[in-house]
């Protein structure tokens, strides 16, 4: 009886571990990063629409993560992190009446185009839950094509080092599907203080200094709070 119990425990532990790995990195999964900017006076209205979209998306087939964000410095700037089991699942949801109505309602509020970018995994790890004090950073990193290989390696190493930093909840590197030299770095921290400590440290500073000669555009980092 003891042996049967032990075998069951080992089996369940193995399933749990496999589930964690599958959630962290999945070759078939896609990450969609969306940026939506609205007129400042329309921020509250847009927030309501975006949260409605999130509620619908989370019920859709293949939805692994739907997270809505509001920029700390500009409340009229929003972002979405969508993770889907496959591109087909995302396309199927995008074709629904709920999404059509959401986009139609949001369009009059926008001050810029609805910027939706499809990514594949480059270095994606397990994440921990956020709360009201958490800070999420989305960074667009662009390296020049001739520096694709070293630039890719450098971003990947930076992300993997960041996961061990105090207060880190998430540190992912995803690559844009139609531009292999464009990356989005997704970070989550327990609080602004932990994020500040990380970017003030040697690892982050060395990364930025070594990346700069390879860069094809400004290092674009934006800080957000999670919408709930």
Q: Can you tell me which residue has the tokens 């927030």?
A: 47
pLDDT at residue 6, rounded to an integer: 37
pTM: 0.87
Of the candidates 125, 180, 119, the one whose C-alpha atom is nearest the C-alpha of residue 158 is: 125
pLDDT at residue 4, rounded to an integer: 41
Residue 75 belongs to a domain: yes
pLDDT at 106 over 70: yes
CA angle in degrees (0–180, nearest 5) for 152-117-189: 65
pLDDT at 62 over 50: yes
Q: Can you tell me which residue has the tokens 């880190």?
A: 168
Tally the domains of the chain.
1
Residue 15 belongs to a domain: no
Task: Return the exposure string of 185-224: e unless at least 16 CB atoms fall within 10 Å of the residue's CB, then b.
Answer: bbbbbbeeebbeebeeeeebeebeeebeebeeeeeeebbb
pLDDT at residue 23, rounded to an integer: 45
| Residues 37/42/48/52 CA torsion (nearest 10 deg) | -50
Q: Which tokens hold the place of 75?
A: 């409340």
Per 3-state DSSP, the chain is made up of helix, strand and coil in percentages (nearest 5) of 45, 30, 25
Q: Can you tell me which residue has the tokens 């007129």?
A: 39
pLDDT at residue 186, rounded to an integer: 98
- 37 DSSP β-pair partners: 77
Domain containing 221 equals: 26-226
Summarize the confidence of residues 35-57 as an average pLDDT: 98
- Containing H/E element for 222? strand 220-226
Residue 86 belongs to a domain: yes
- Containing H/E element for 77? strand 77-84
Residue 155 belongs to domain with CATH number = 3.30.70.100
Residue 60 belongs to a domain: yes
- How many C-beta atoms lie closer than 10 Å to residue 77's C-beta? 21
pLDDT band, residue 145 (cuts 50/70/90): very high
| 162-209 tens-digit pLDDT | 999 999 999 999 999 999 999 999 999 999 999 999 999 999 999 999
pLDDT at residue 228, rounded to an integer: 86
Q: Can you tell me which residue has the tokens 């930093």?
A: 165
Q: Which tokens hold the place of 137?
A: 């950073």
Summarize the confidence of residues 66-77 as an average pLDDT: 98
Residue 4 belongs to a domain: no
Residue 21 belongs to a domain: no
Summarize the confidence of residues 45-58 as an average pLDDT: 98
Residue 162 belongs to a domain: yes
pLDDT at 93 over 90: yes
Strands (E), 124-177: 135-142, 168-176
pLDDT at residue 24, rounded to an integer: 60
Q: Cα dist. 204→106, 149, 201 in Å?
A: 37, 20, 6
pLDDT at 77 over 60: yes
Cβ contacts of residue 197 below 8 Å, gap of 6+? 165, 166, 167
Q: Return d(Cα 114, Cα 74) in angstroms, integer.
A: 16
**Average pLDDT along the chain:** 90
Q: Can you tell me which residue has the tokens 């087939």?
A: 61
């Amino acid at each position: 009886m003891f042996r049967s119990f032990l075998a069951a425990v080992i089996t369940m532990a193995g399933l749990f571990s496999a589930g964690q790995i599958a959630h962290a990195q999945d070759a078939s999964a896609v990450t969609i990063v969306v940026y939506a900017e609205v007129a400042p006076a329309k921020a509250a209205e847009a927030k309501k629409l975006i949260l409605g979209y999130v509620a619908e998306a989370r019920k859709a087939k293949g939805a692994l993560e739907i997270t809505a964000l509001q920029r700390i410095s500009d409340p009229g700037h929003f972002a979405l992190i969508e993770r889907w089991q496959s591109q087909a699942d995302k396309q199927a949801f995008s074709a629904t009446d709920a999404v059509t109505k959401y986009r139609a309602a949001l369009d009059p509020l926008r001050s810029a185009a609805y910027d939706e970018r499809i990514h594949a995994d480059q270095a994606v790890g397990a994440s921990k839950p956020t709360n009201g004090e958490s800070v999420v950073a989305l960074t667009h990193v662009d390296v020049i094509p001739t520096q694709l290989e070293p630039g890719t390696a450098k971003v990947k190493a930076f992300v993997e080092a960041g996961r061990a930093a105090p207060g880190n909840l998430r540190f992912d590197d995803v690559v844009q599907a139609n531009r292999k030299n464009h990356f989005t770095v997704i970070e989550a921290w327990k609080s602004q203080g932990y994020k500040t400590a990380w970017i003030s440290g040697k690892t982050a500073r060395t990364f930025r200094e070594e990346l700069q000669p390879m860069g094809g555009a400004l290092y674009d980092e934006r800080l957000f709070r999670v919408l709930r």
